[in-house]
Amino acid sequence: MNAAGPTLFDWARRAARPVFYLGNNRVSQLGVVLTTASAITLLTFYTTEFFGVHPGPYVGIITYLILPGVFVLGLLIIPAGIARKLRRERRAGQLPPTYPQINLADVRLRETIYFVIVMSGLNLALFLTATYRGVHYMDSTQFCGLTCHSVMLPEYTAYQNSPHARVACIACHIGPGAPWFVRSKLSGAYQVLSVNLNLYSRPIPTPIENLRPSRETCEQCHWPLKFHGDKVVVRAHFADDEANAKTYTVLSMHTGGVDPLTRQPVGNHGVHLMPGAQIDYYAADHERQQIPYVRYQQADGQVVEYVASDTGQPLEELRAQPLRQMDCMDCHNRPTHIFELPGPALDRALDAGRLDPALPFAKKQGLELLQLSYTSQAEAASQLRARWRDFYRTQYPALFNTRRQAIEQGADALVDIYSRNIFPQMNIFWGTYANNLGHDPAPGCFRCHDGAHSTADGSRSIPNDCSTCHALLAFEEPDPDILRTLRGQ
């Protein structure tokens, strides 16, 4: 009767002999030390986070990016040391003809094997956890806004004061799906390199090239069938006189969309985002502020071309230019990273009571101080407070003594307005970024809706009638009737 052949266990034991022999080298031992040390540190950080201790952005880089890298490096060094010893002993002719036997009857050896098996399983689990946590951390708003602090401080500050302050950065900048996730990581690698080598632009140029089409991300929440109808907008304005005279402008914005019942386009969004229709345009400048050519393809396939009257290019040449398909970002180009202008920012502060309208010339003086040149935010904070106090101390000494708290609160409001809008270290000043939502002071809507974009035969023009976008219910009136009606007075 023939003896039974070698079992799988016997084969595994023979295969493990060279690993045990060649693994006894300093390089592999260094890999074991790196892997073990980083694993213990990672587990410590994960445990503290589980109990509510959340790391800052720089500790997060160490925890979720550097330590996992050291962990993987240690795992790679172990086989590298084995290969190195194999190559050196083979060249020197020192490889044994047969590797030492693995005697499982040896309790210490058996315990070592069990330990290696258990630790390999733990290492795999830790590697998968570290990979997941690292990717999750890189997708966090904290990582985006605070890691590259000097570069992203303006954008992160504006984001925190925006209507989308509770929407994660990746929801708009990456969106769903693997392809754009991969592209974002490749782009992010270059951005990290640019920051470390000081290659980035100041300010960050906009619009950003190769940004994901906004309809793929914006319409996760704002889609055309989400019918809005009209929206009443009330804007308070304060004059730059001594009394800071307050007036109101009341608008009925034809926000519109696509009516979910009739499927008909209504209002501004319905016309621009009508299903089946498409608007393409050619921008003569990088900032997309000059648009000499617009092509509108209707839902029935008919194409209408509009050319600006002041363009010097023939129609055929305009058709050959690279066209951009219009999407949300062409009007809402600052949906989150909104930088205010000093006048509207002061109006909002006065209307909210953060800057007391009873202080004489509060609007005028605030406007003058905010538009002065400062080398840094720290200098601006100091100078704004000092000049604001000096104005009321010298011009209104009695008021300075009786309304000191209101004056100090006003100084705080000026510093707050400046610090969230002006960043000298990134060359961001008043008006650095044009806001296309509206038409003041940037042309915005009037880039196309100026009445000067017409068809070749002059039979059709892009309208510039105010009522196309909104109904003006009151304009800079101190006590408009419509506002009292809306308030039920």
Walk along the chain (489 residues) and give the pLDDT tens digit of each residue.
445 556 655 565 565 666 666 667 888 888 888 888 888 877 877 777 777 666 665 566 677 677 788 888 888 888 888 888 878 877 877 767 666 666 666 566 566 667 767 777 777 777 777 777 777 777 788 888 887 777 889 999 999 999 999 998 888 888 877 777 777 777 777 777 888 788 888 998 888 877 777 788 888 888 877 767 889 999 999 999 999 999 999 999 998 888 777 778 888 888 888 878 899 999 999 999 999 999 999 888 899 999 999 898 899 999 999 999 998 899 999 999 999 999 999 999 999 999 999 999 999 999 999 999 999 999 999 999 999 999 999 999 999 999 999 999 999 999 999 999 999 999 999 999 999 998 988 999 999 999 999 999 989 999 988 888 899 999 999 999 999 998 887
Crossing angle of helices 67-92 and 107-138, in 10° steps, is: 130
Let me know: does 416 contact 146? Beta carbons within 8 Å. Answer: no
Other CB atoms within a 10 A radius of the CB of residue 356 amount to: 17
Residue 109: its pLDDT value, please?
57
Residue 184: its pLDDT value, please?
77
Taking the C-alpha atoms of 221, 227, 232 and 234 in order, what is their torsion angle to the nearest 10 degrees? 10
Crossing angle of helices 342-352 and 404-419, in 10° steps, is: 140
Q: What is the C-alpha to C-alpha distance for residues 154 and 115, in angstroms, rounded to an integer?
A: 51
For 479, counting Cβ atoms within 10 Å of its Cβ (0-12 exposed, 13-18 middle, 19+ buried), the class is: exposed
Rg (CA), the chain: 33
Residue 56: its pLDDT value, please?
60
Please name which of 415, 396, 366, 340 lies closest in space to residue 244, comparing C-alpha atoms: 366
- For residue 330, what is the DSSP state? G
**Which whole-number Å values give the CA distances from 147 to 181, 211, 474, in the listed order?**
19, 21, 46
DSSP E strand stretches across 7-89: none
- What string of DSSP letters covers 90-143? HHHT---SSPPP--TT-HHHHHHHHHHHHHHHHHHHHHHHHHHHHHHHHTSHHH
Name, in order, each residue with C-beta under 8 angstroms of 184's C-beta and a sequence gap of 6 or more: 170, 173, 174
Residue 20: its pLDDT value, please?
65
Instruction: Dump pLDDT digits (tens) for 167-196.
Output: 988 888 888 777 777 777 777 777 778 887
Question: How is residue 320 written in tokens?
Answer: 């050959």
The model's pTM is: 0.78
Let me know: does 410 contact 359? Beta carbons within 8 Å. Answer: yes
Let me know: does 302 contact 296? Beta carbons within 8 Å. Answer: no
Cis peptide before 68 (omega within 30 of 0): no
Name, in order, each residue with C-beta under 8 angstroms of 294's C-beta and a sequence gap of 6 or more: 279, 280, 281, 305, 306, 448, 453, 462
Residue 1: its pLDDT value, please?
44
Within the chain, how many helices (H) and strands (E) appear?
18, 10
Q: What is the C-alpha to C-alpha distance for residues 458 and 69, in angstroms, rounded to an integer?
A: 65
Please name which of 105, 335, 388 lies closest in space to residue 211, comparing C-alpha atoms: 335
Q: What is the C-alpha to C-alpha distance for residues 109 and 100, in angstroms, rounded to an integer?
A: 13
Residue 342: its pLDDT value, please?
96
Question: How is residue 362 written in tokens?
Answer: 């509060």
What phi-psi label fits residue 288: left (phi over 0), alpha (psi between -120 and 50 degrees) or beta?
left
Q: What is the C-alpha to C-alpha distance for residues 223 and 214, in angstroms, rounded to an integer?
A: 11
What phi-psi label fits residue 4: left (phi over 0), alpha (psi between -120 and 50 degrees) or beta?
beta
Residue 16: its pLDDT value, please?
62
